Amino acid sequence: MRQLATCFLVVAFFALRAEGQSVSSAKSELTDALHFHAPFDGDANATVSAGEGLIMTADSLERKMFVPGIQGSHVTVARSEGRFGDCLRFAGRAKEVICFAGTEMHYAEKDWSGSVSLWMRLDPNKDLLPGYCDPLQITQHAWNNGAFFVDFDKDLPRDFRLGVFSDLKHWNPTDIPWEQWPVEKRPMVTVKNAPFSKSDWTHVVFTFDKINSSSESPSVASLYVNGKLQGTVQQPLVYKWDLSKVAIMLGIEYIGDLDDLMIFRRAITPEEVTFLYKSSTSL
């Protein structure tokens, strides 16, 4: 009996050590792929960045003027209220837009892959004002022209969506009005009854692979919510960006909390998405 107990303890010890090594390995591989990280702890600036990592305020969605820092009272750093540490809190609607420079974004002219991870806390059906809301939008031009975004639809109950819009002339060369574009052909993933809550944090990740593909392989973009795959867009995607004109915009018409924005240089795996969702600490 003692021998069996000893054997069990030895097996358990090595299993725990292997699990610890697996966690350490997963974290190391994700850290190696991390291109940008804004944990919003202490201030809103990034701690990992390709440039200066400074948060800025643009005068509007057209982004004709930028001012360093967070301007206005509608956005604050909420101390000890984040998924990890502090977080950004958006308290109301404003013309100004909080953003990071597009030069913080990973980009490749051929076979471009990457991932974006963030956490949100809100009840979209109760907290948001009427109209569309984009907690995150990354674009050079506009939402439908060389853009990634996650948004809440304007109709109640609000759908949560991922948009991956190629350059406008590529996906809509004949300029068909948006309302006439078949829903099933829109480059979007739609999630109904997504698990957003005023009391709990919701984890959102989208990945993209082979944008600006150099082969006949289609581009693929996937949306995950709380570690679970919600859907994919699989079609040729073309983004011709000048990073100096791109912006990583946060909290467009958003009312709620936002935390731990990360951008990776590759499409992270489903297992890595799960690791980020279940981890008790940030990278």
- Indicate the pTM of the whole model: 0.91
CATH assignment at residue 178: 2.60.120.200
In a domain, 4, yes or no: no
Instruction: Please write the tens of the pLDDT for every residue from 104-121.
Output: 999 999 999 999 999 999
Instruction: Please write the tens of the pLDDT for every residue from 133-159.
Output: 999 999 999 999 999 999 999 999 999
Report angle CA 262, 268, 188 to the nearest 5 degrees. Answer: 80
| Positive/negative CA dihedral, 116, 260, 123, 57 | negative
Residue-range definition of the domain harbouring residue 45:
36-278
Which pLDDT score is estimated for 152? 98
Q: For the chain, what is the domain count?
A: 1
In a domain, 226, yes or no: yes
CB 177 within 8 A of CB 198: no
